[in-house]
């Protein structure tokens, strides 16, 4: 938590072309060594390490992660859920958000504009597991107004890489 507070207070650094090149390489393969990155961006390892550290400390680089193919780990059903709340106040919104962070089936949650208040990306094993999630978890939350589920038939493009 202390590190998170540090990131919030840290000003966002100016990102130059070398930083963009470093970020692009890390997004493609976060397992690259500082030496390998340095070779690719034509800098020595020390300034590359310092640039990466600065971007980590400021929150530009939030975390490093392994991207897992959900269908290969018995999570073959992806559902986009649109959720509207009955009450729209700070307390009820915060309670909903906390609950979404606690539900393991919800891998992404966005506060959106339009007819619905939130968009969830839910990944579960199969239709029975989604039914259980929907009926026994999501629909049981207080303040849920409406839920619309859209089942993902196929993934055309899925990336976490930002383009510079």
CATH number at residue 98: 3.30.70.920
Residues 21 and 83 in one domain: no
Please give the average per-residue pLDDT across 57-72, as a whole number: 93
- Whether 116 and 48 map to the same domain: the answer is no
Percent pLDDT > 90 in the chain is 85
pLDDT digit string (tens) for 111-141? Answer: 999 999 999 999 999 999 999 999 999 999 9
Position 95 pLDDT exceeds 60: yes
For the cut 70, the answer to whether the pLDDT of residue 27 exceeds it is yes
Measured on CA atoms in the order 155, 31, 3, 19, is the torsion positive or negative? negative
Specify the CATH number for the domain of residue 22: 1.10.10.10
Is residue 161 over pLDDT 70?
yes
Q: Do residues 90 and 27 both lie within one domain?
A: no
> Has residue 157 been placed in a domain?
no
Q: What is the per-residue pLDDT for 101?
A: 97
Of 161 and 84, the one with more pLDDT: 84
Helix or strand (DSSP H, E) at 145? strand 144-151
Is residue 10 scored above 90 in pLDDT?
Answer: no
Model confidence pTM above 0.75: yes
* Residues 145 and 138: beta-carbon distance below 8 Å: no
Q: What range does the domain containing 81 cover?
A: 70-151
Confidence of residue 99 (pLDDT cuts 50, 70, 90): very high
- pLDDT at residue 5 greater than cutoff 70: no
Which pLDDT belongs to residue 12? 75
Mean pLDDT of the chain: 92
Contact of 120 with 106, CB cutoff 8 Å: yes
Among 8-17, 20-29, 114-123, the range scoring the smallest mean pLDDT is 8-17
Q: Are residues 13 and 38 in the same domain?
A: yes
Residue 159 lies in a domain: no
Within 13 Å of residue 135, how many CA atoms lie on the same side as its CB?
A: 6
Domain count, the chain: 2
């Amino acid at each position: 938590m202390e590190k998170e507070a540090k990131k919030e207070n840290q000003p966002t650094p100016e990102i130059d072309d070398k930083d963009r090149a470093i970020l692009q390489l890390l997004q493609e393969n976060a397992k690259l060594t500082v030496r390998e990155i340095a070779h690719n961006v034509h800098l020595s390892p020390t300034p590359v390490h310092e640039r990466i550290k600065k971007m980590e400390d400021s929150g530009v680089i939030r975390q490093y992660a392994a991207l897992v193919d959900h269908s290969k780990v018995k999570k073959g059903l992806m559902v986009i859920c649109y959720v509207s709340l009955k009450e729209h106040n700070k307390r009820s919104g915060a309670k909903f958000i906390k609950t979404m962070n606690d539900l393991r089936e919800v891998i992404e949650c966005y506060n959106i504009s339009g007819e619905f208040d939130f968009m969830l990306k839910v990944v579960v094993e199969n239709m029975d597991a989604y039914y259980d999630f929907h009926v026994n978890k999501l629909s049981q939350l207080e303040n849920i107004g409406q839920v619309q589920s859209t089942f993902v038939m196929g993934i055309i493009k899925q990336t976490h890489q930002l383009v510079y």
